[in-house]
Structure 1
Amino acid sequence: MATRHPHRGRPRLLHSALEARVLAELAVLPWTLPALSLAAPRGDGHPVLLLPGFMGSEFSLIGLERFLRHRGYAVETWGLGRNVGFNPRHATALEQKIRHMAHRAGRPVSLVGWSLGGVFSVYGAHQAPECVRQVITLGSPVSVDAGGSASPPLVKAMYRLIAHPHGPTAHTMQPRAKKLRERAPLAVPVSCLYSLSDGVVPPQEATVEGDPARHENIRVPGSHLGLGFNPVVLWIVADRLAQPDGQWRPFVPHGAWGQAYRLLTHRVLPV
């Protein structure tokens, strides 16, 4: 079984404070792009839909978008402006967007969601599984317990201020989010990327339980705010998307980047 990470409670205060390291992660990306372009596999041109995190807009996805376009995918962003929470209007529009993209391309769509965008991705895959090839989430709270989110108080306060006065629970209690609350297993492959040093979404919420034949949790180094620009994340996303349709297999690090990945996640960084 794919299992959730055993962490309990909120992200460590140190990790939340270190989210500012996103600036360093942004600075590193241009220097790693040449090697990344050589290591990351090219795609088959199938459609890929990118979804931003809470308060993120299409601009926040520019790193992922340009990289995946360069890998040969037909990339689109959700086209709904800034992500201001899991609300009915965006949920309905997302399902329509997925169906339209799949119909136009004549093949299913891969969904890549960052943070709250990953929750939208899971919702879209539940609503239109026949139109979805796979789901990849980046630090997304896809497994929130009955007691509510363990994100830092500041994050919850922002959600209450911008999205709903009762916080994220108000949106996840909507009838249309029933499958998310019940954690109904997705019928399509799902890869959940998470970081132990994520200062926003704790690892137990960013991982899932399920059949290892189509569900996996992949640990990555880095901050929450830098996931969409993280070279290791981009390499893994490209690896996952490059699998032939209907032939999904769990992630296995390989090559020089695989060796660096093992070093960063299992030797240098704490368990």
Structure 2
Amino acid sequence: MESLELTPPPAILLALEPLRAIADYVAGLAPLSHPLPRGDGHPVIVFPGLGVSGYATEGLRGRLGELNYEVHDWEQGVNQWPDTDFDSFLDLLSEQLKQIYSQNGRSASLIGWSLGGVYAREIAKRHPKLVRQAITLATPFADQPNSTHAGWLCTLLNGGVSPMDEALLRRLSIDPVVPCTSVYSPSDGVVGWAGCAGTESEYHRNIEVDNVSHWGMVHNPEVLRVVAHLLAEHRHGTLRALLDTCVTRLL
């Protein structure tokens, strides 16, 4: 993938985020124009974005539950940057994944919104045999802290020091060895879309959704449609075949 300039979204997009998020929320309440594929009942864990709890992803989890998935909140309350060692925090999050696997012997799909997507990818790196796929929604895993409008909040929550040093940024940009999909919007008002787009490979694919806000990403019906098709695919298919099928169905 060619090198892209990593800059924050225009100020006008940030200013319009609240109104656009409301529009995405309302759109998500409307009946879908086409039915979504039903799932096979495998477990799904949803990680919320920075500064919000599982309450913010309740609607998405409810819709996925209706599609026959065993859906779990991340169960850690409000998502702040960890106040402990990053790897220790990942150990804590991994315990939920291990427990779910021990209960039914099925690998889980991980869905992470914004900062939550960072956790989903890192957990997938640690436990690839327990993870079916990782789906990130507006997650700037290939970004720099000063090229988003959320970097200052991470710094504030980390005692005034940016937690994103160069070593961590390099680490976050490395893809897990499980199927990964980054769903992003060029009209995101909080994070720059370029920081959400990784290098396409056997394990990674980027999917662009138009006219979706950052805060409305978990409510928008087009995002739900993409996620539903990704979850419904067989885990042993190659990622390229998986996503080509998904995109074909959406056309």
Under a length normalisation based on structure 1, what TM-score does the superposition of the two structures give?
0.82
Q: Residues 178, 7 of structure 1: CA spacing in aligned structure 2 closer, same or farther, 3 A cutoff?
A: closer
1:190 to 176, 180, 197: 180
1:150 equivalenced with 2:163 (yes/no): no
CA distance in structure 1 between the partners assigned to 2:112 and 2:152 by the alignment: 22
- The match for 1:232 is 222
Superposed CA offset, 1:40-91 (max 9, x none): 1000000000000001101011111001000000000110111011453532
Deviation at 1:158, TM superposition (A): 2.2
2:243 to 234, 238, 250: 250
User: Aligned AA for 1:162?
Assistant: L
CA distance in 2, matches of 1:42, 1:4: 37
Structure 2 gap ranges (5+):
none
For residues 67 and 229 of structure 2, the distance between their equivalents in structure 1, rounded to whole angstroms, comes to: 11
Match of residue 56 from structure 1: 52
3-state SS of 1:144 partner: coil
Number of aligned residues:
242
Residues 1-271 of structure 1 aligned to structure 2 (within 5 Å): 3=1, 6-20=4-18, 21-31=20-30, 33-35=31-33, 38-86=34-82, 87=84, 88=86, 89-145=88-144, 148-152=145-149, 155-169=150-164, 173=167, 179-180=171-172, 183-211=173-201, 213-221=202-210, 222-247=212-237, 248=239, 249-251=242-244, 252-254=246-248, 258-259=250-251
> One-letter code of the match for 1:191?
T
Q: Give the Cα–Cα distance (whole angstroms) in 2 for the partners of residues 40 and 64 of structure 1.
A: 13
Q: Check conservation: 2:6, 2:143, Cα contact below 8 A.
A: no
Matches of 2:206 and 2:132, distance apart in 1: 18
User: Could you tell which deviates more after superposition, 99-108 or 196-205?
Assistant: 99-108
Aligned residue type for 1:232: E
- TM-score (normalised: structure 2): 0.88
Tell me, yes or no, if the aligned pair for 2:8 and 2:192 is still in contact at 8 Å: yes
Does the 8 Å contact 1:214/1:250 carry over to 2?
no
CA contact (8 A) 2:121 2:175 kept: no
Q: Which amino acid aligns with 2:213?
A: S
1:133 deviation in Å?
A: 0.5
Deviation at 1:5, TM superposition (A): 7.8
**Counterpart of 1:267?**
none
Q: Contact 2:47 / 2:73 at 8 angstroms: preserved in 1?
A: yes
Asked if 2 retains the 8 angstrom alpha-carbon contact of 1:109 and 1:134, the reply is yes
List alignment gaps of at least 5 residues for structure 1.
260-271
Amino acid at match of 1:40: L
**What is the CA deviation profile of residues 210-229 of structure 1, one whole-angstrom value per residue up to 9, with x for unaligned ones?**
41x32100001210000000
Report the residue type matching 2:217 in the other structure.
Answer: L
> CA RMSD for the aligned pairs?
2.1
Name the aligned partner's letter for residue 80 of structure 2.
Answer: V
Cα displacement (A) at 1:4: 6.8
Shift in CA distance, 116/5, structure 1 to aligned 2, threshold 3 Å? farther
